[in-house]
Structure formats: C-alpha cells, structure tokens
Amino acid sequence: MEKDKALKSYIIDHAQQLTNEWYETLEEKDPSSLYASRDPQVIETLKKQNFDFHHYFSEIFVVENEEAWLENFNKWVSEVSGDIEHLSTPSHYVIREFMRVRMQYMDCIKNFYDKHKDKLEQEDLDRWNKLVVRGFDVAIMKFVEGANENSKLQLKAKEEIIHELSAPVITLDNQRALLPLIGEIDSDRASVILENTLHQCSQKGVTHLFIDLSGVATIDTLVAHQISNLLQSLQLLGISSTISGMRPEIAHTATQLGISFEKVTIKPSLANAL
C-alpha cells in the first residue's frame, strides 16, 4: 500500500510536467478539432482538464476497488464529456489523446520503478501497468457514453428550438395573428405547434388566428387530429380561427377522418383570408 501511495504522489508531483509535455507534443491540423484551437481561453481550459485528469485518475492506485475510483473519476468525465468544445471534436481525436496520455503513464511508472528498483519488484510494475490499461479502457468508455448522451440532449434542445421557430405566431394587429405552417409536419412537430400556438395566443391576447397551410403538402392521420385538437382548443379559449391555403390532399384526409370545420372560416388563400 505504501508503494501505491508513493506512486500516486510521484504522478501528482509530475502532473504539471505531464500536462505541459502532452500539450507541447500535440500535432493537430484539423480545424474542427479542439486540439487545433488557438483561442487562449480554450487552451487554458484544455490544459486544466488534462491537469485535473491526473489528480482524478491517479486515485486508481490507492482505492480499494474500481467502483470506488470510478465514483470519484466520474466527476471529471461528466465535466469533460459535457464540454461544448469536446462535443464539437470528432470522437476519434479524443480517443487518440487518451491513448497518448496512457503512454505517458506507462513511461512515468517505468521512471518511478527505475528510481526505486531496490524497493520494488517486477510484479509491482506489472500490476500498475494492468491498472493503467484497465483504467484508461474504462475512462474512454465512460467519456464516449457521456459525450453520446450529451450530444443527444444537445440535439434535442436544438430540435425544440427549431420546432418553436417553425411555428411562430405573428401578430398582425392588437387582436389578430397569423400562424404560417411550412414544410413537413410530423407528430412531434404537430404536438409542439399545438402547445406553442396556444401559449403564444394566450400570451399575446389574440382573439382571431389565421392558420395558413399553403406551405404544407401532406399530413398524416395523427397530424390531422392534432390540427383538429388545435382548432377545438382555440375555440375553448374563445379564439376564432380562419384556415387558408388548404390543399386538396389535406382536405381529402380531413374529410376521411371526419374532422369538422363547423366553426372555422375557410379561405382558398391567405390573401383572401386577410
């Protein structure tokens, strides 16, 4: 145990040197990579993340089991895998740097072993090297898992913004507004349109909403029902509505589904509606 503590201390004492050597030997030319950045703030953050890595990772030599080490190491993984610069960097570049740092650890451990050969045995060196290999395998896997999850969350957030922007309620005057629908509408987008439209109409004090469908080519059954729900919800809020630009395909689908437009004004075009 004392040998392990001594090795950990040796690594911590050389952490800054390891970080400096790692950064100075970077050879990155791809501008999409974090490692090619010349932004001083990005570089400072990158170096700090690498420096912190040594403090978290070196615990693997002194903890009782892998679970205890991983519980603490996950704090570093969580920070780095959620970092926008790392998320914007191709994952194989990040894995390459993990592998380069792993080689640093192998060299560092060998240097420590050579300096204390009189107190150490070959089995100590072999055991430490196995810990490094196992630790870096787990670190790479955890980073990739975390980055993948954060990428999904980031993509979902972007999709929500796009959906909101794709269903804007445009104020025409104090009480009237326009909802222009353009492009393909799937069930997810239809749901967002329903929620977003009701919220904006209520917030803006709209009493009459013009819904223009001239930019929508087709709708499926679920989307047609969502539009029907939107019309009914607007009526419950006391908001009258006018639909314009309905294409024959959409009219046919609505008729087949038995969707009623009793209390809705229908116009052939937005110009007619206005």
Q: What is the mean pLDDT of residues 39-56?
A: 95
Q: All domains of the chain, ordered by start, with CATH?
A: 2-159 (1.10.490.10), 170-273 (3.30.750.24)
Helix axes 221-236, 187-204, angle to 10 degrees: 10
3 state SS of 3: helix
- Residue 187's pLDDT band (cuts 50, 70, 90): confident
Q: What is the mean pLDDT of residues 79-99?
A: 90
First-last CA distance in the chain? 82
Pull the structure tokens for residue 241.
């509505």
- Residue 200's pLDDT band (cuts 50, 70, 90): confident
- Residue 247's pLDDT band (cuts 50, 70, 90): confident
Among the ranges given (18-22, 129-133, 219-223), the one the predictor scored with the smallest mean pLDDT: 219-223
If one counts every other C-beta atom within 10 angstroms of the C-beta of residue 92, the result is 8
Q: What is the DSSP letter of 213?
A: E
Count of positions (residues) in the chain: 274
Helix axes 91-115, 2-13, angle to 10 degrees: 120
3 state SS of 214: strand
Contact 199, 208 (CB under 8 A): no
